């Protein structure tokens, strides 16, 4: 059996221009004051069982802040007809980065003949969520994982999501608004993907 060596950092650099991709322990410690002044931070060497993580990859390495698209009954558009499909849970690839951004809805009124302005706060906009990842051979092959991703992307419904980072921000549902599937030259055995999403908070209307 032949094996392929995959450097996740170089894949992120080629696919998304991200030059640093590292999953580091939560508690860095400087070995000395001099090393701290030089910006050199050393991490205590430990095996996977000693790392502060709840999820581990299939090779035993810890995974920080994993998240999952929850399965269930969702709506999908099929040739102009909305139908219900049942999907299973899908753990997104561990080689995935997520960025969150949110703006405030503020009304700003200039003060005539004076300095400054009057600010009126009306609330918060939805979270803008950027998900970038690399699908690599794992427990399942790359094409199977890509099909799982496309099953969720094809939905015309909000996706239930679970993960510590999402929970901390109060995000339990999201909508995929855009998908990008770039290719990396000379590496057909991996599939980069990028999702643009917005958070969705269910509202109850009383009629």
Q: Which CATH number belongs to the domain containing residue 176 in this structure?
A: 2.40.30
Residues contacting residue 49 through CB under 8 Å, at least 6 positions apart = none
Residue 9 lies in a domain: no
Residue 24's pLDDT band, with cuts at 50, 70 and 90, is: very low
Beta strands in the chain (DSSP E): 55-56, 62-63, 67-69, 72-78, 81-87, 90-91, 96-101, 104-110, 117-124, 128-135, 159-163, 173-180, 191-199
Q: Is the pLDDT of residue 27 over 50?
A: no
Residue 42 lies in a domain: no
Specify the pLDDT at position 130: 95
The one-character DSSP state at 29 is B
Phi, psi angle pair for 125, to nearest 5°: -80, 175
Residue 30 lies in a domain: no
Residue 35 lies in a domain: no
Residue 28 lies in a domain: no
Residue 161 lies in a domain: yes
> Once rounded to an integer, what is the mean pLDDT over residues 96-122?
87
Residue 189 lies in a domain: yes
pLDDT greater at residue 42 or residue 201? 201
Residue 100 lies in a domain: yes
* In the block, residue with structure tokens 């503020």: 106
pLDDT greater at residue 202 or residue 49? 202
Q: What is the phi-psi region of residue 177: left when phi exceeds 0, alpha when psi lies from -120 to 50, beta otherwise? A: alpha
Pairing label, strands 81-87, 72-78: antiparallel
How many folded domains does the chain comprise?
A: 1
pLDDT greater at residue 32 or residue 125? 125
Residue 141: which domain range? 67-199
What percentage of the chain has pLDDT greater than the value 90?
Answer: 41
């Amino acid at each position: 059996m032949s094996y392929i060596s995959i450097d996740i950092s170089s894949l992120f650099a080629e696919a998304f221009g991200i030059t640093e991709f590292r999953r580091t322990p939560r508690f860095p410690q400087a070995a000395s004051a001099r090393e701290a002044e030089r910006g050199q931070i050393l991490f205590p060497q430990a095996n996977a069982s000693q790392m502060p993580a709840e999820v581990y990859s299939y090779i035993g390495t810890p995974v920080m802040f994993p998240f999952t698209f929850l399965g269930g009954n969702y709506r999908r558009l099929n040739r102009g007809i909305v139908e219900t499909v049942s999907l299973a849970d899908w753990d997104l690839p561990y080689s995935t980065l997520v960025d969150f951004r949110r703006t405030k809805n503020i009304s700003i009124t200039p003060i005539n003949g004076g300095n400054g302005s009057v600010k009126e706060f009306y609330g918060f906009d939805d979270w803008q969520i950027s998900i970038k990842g690399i699908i690599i051979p794992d427990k399942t092959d790359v094409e199977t994982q890509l099909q799982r991703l496309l099953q969720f992307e094809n939905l015309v419904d909000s996706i239930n999501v679970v993960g510590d980072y999402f929970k901390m921000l109060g995000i339990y549902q999201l909508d995929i608004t855009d998908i990008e599937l770039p290719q990396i030259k000379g590496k057909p055995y991996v599939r980069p993907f990028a999702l643009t999403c917005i958070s969705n908070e269910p509202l109850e209307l009383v009629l």
